[in-house]
Amino acid sequence: MSYYNSKLVALSFEEAIEKVTDELKKEGFGVLTEIDVQATLKKKLDVDFRKYKILGACNPPFAYKALQAEEHIGVLLPCNFIVQEKLEGGVQVSAINPLESMKVVENSDLASIAGEVAARITKVLGNI
């Protein structure tokens, strides 16, 4: 399995961000952070980069369960989504695959939580 799942979407960059945010809300997630990689790279390195945003999504009940199972799991939270313009054209939405990311922790209690979160993330991607 891959550490992420992706989908090309027939939306503008801005529309894709709005749609991802709306679909996340439907699954109980909120966007806690938004990192504008293009703006950051321009400001810090004075380089041009394509439109690329990282959305840090959190579902509080699942985050709480994960934190109860593993006190250091916060290093792997929140669930990141990226929206990016592809060089060849179009917009791609990608999301972390929690089933893969949680394997590194080696805590069996996280497997069921990761499965539930993965199902919701898959649903979000499917609805975009």
Contact present, 66 and 113 (Cβ < 8 Å): yes
DSSP per position, 73-96: GGGG-SEEEEEEE-TTSSEEEEEE
Contact present, 27 and 117 (Cβ < 8 Å): no
Which pLDDT score is estimated for 33? 97
Look up the CATH architecture of domain 4-127: 2-Layer Sandwich (3.30)
The torsion angles phi and psi of 3, rounded to 5 degrees, stand at -75, -5
Tokens in use for 19? 């749609």
User: Whole-structure pTM over 0.85, yes or no?
Assistant: yes
Which pLDDT score is estimated for 37? 98
User: Domain-by-domain residue ranges, the chain?
Assistant: 4-127
C-alpha–C-alpha distance, residues 44 and 68, integer Å: 37
Which pLDDT score is estimated for 68? 96
Q: What is the mean pLDDT of each run of 10 residues along the chain (128 residues)?
A: 93 98 98 98 98 98 96 95 95 96 91 95 97
Which pLDDT score is estimated for 42? 98
Which pLDDT score is estimated for 2? 92
